[in-house]
Homo-oligomer: A and B are copies of this chain.
Amino acid sequence: MKEMDENEIIDFLMEGTRTGKLSTVREDGHPHVAPIWFVWNEGKIIFCTMDSSVKAKNIRHNPQVSICVDDESPPYAFVIIQGTAKFSDNQKDLLKWNTILGGRYMGEKLAEVYGKRNTVEGSLLVEVTPTKMISEKDVAGW
């Protein structure tokens, strides 16, 4: 099994328009997983969601999360982050982060357009502090 070093992990997370798949636990104990637009910033995963989303409800009940980012082409690779989610103390920065996320996922020319589109009543800024990061590259190698 070939692991990535920390710099490789960060480059991998931030490559192109790779989405994160955020896993949370529902109040009834069932798992939930959904895609997120995210960025890595100062040791944390930053993403935005709606207050009414399953993600936000689950995090409110249980802040433990797991995030998977993978390369879906041969020879395949992935990073899995376990961590703790927290609604940011800086919700005033929501537009700033939605603009950064818009730039990453829709291209720089549309960054501001998407920043505004996604900053609406009920949007929330969330930070995930990793407690463990697992990686594997060349999964299909010998």
Chain A residues near B (Cβ < 8 Å): 16-19, 21-25, 29-35, 62, 64-68, 70, 72-74, 76, 78, 80, 82, 105-107, 114, 117, 140, 142
Contacts and interface: CB of A to CB of B under 8 A. Distances in A.
A114 B76 CA distance: 14
Contacts of A32: 23, 31, 66, 80, 82
Contacts of A22: 33
Given A31-B64, A80-B33, A80-B34, A21 B140 contact: no
A105 B140 contact: yes
Most B CB contacts (10 A, CB to CB) among A16, A24, A35, A106 go to A35
Given A31-B32, A34-B80, 15 more contacts: A18-B72, A21-B21, A21-B33, A21-B70, A23-B23, A24-B31, A25-B29, A30-B64, A31-B31, A31-B64, A32-B80, A32-B82, A33-B80, A35-B78, A74-B106
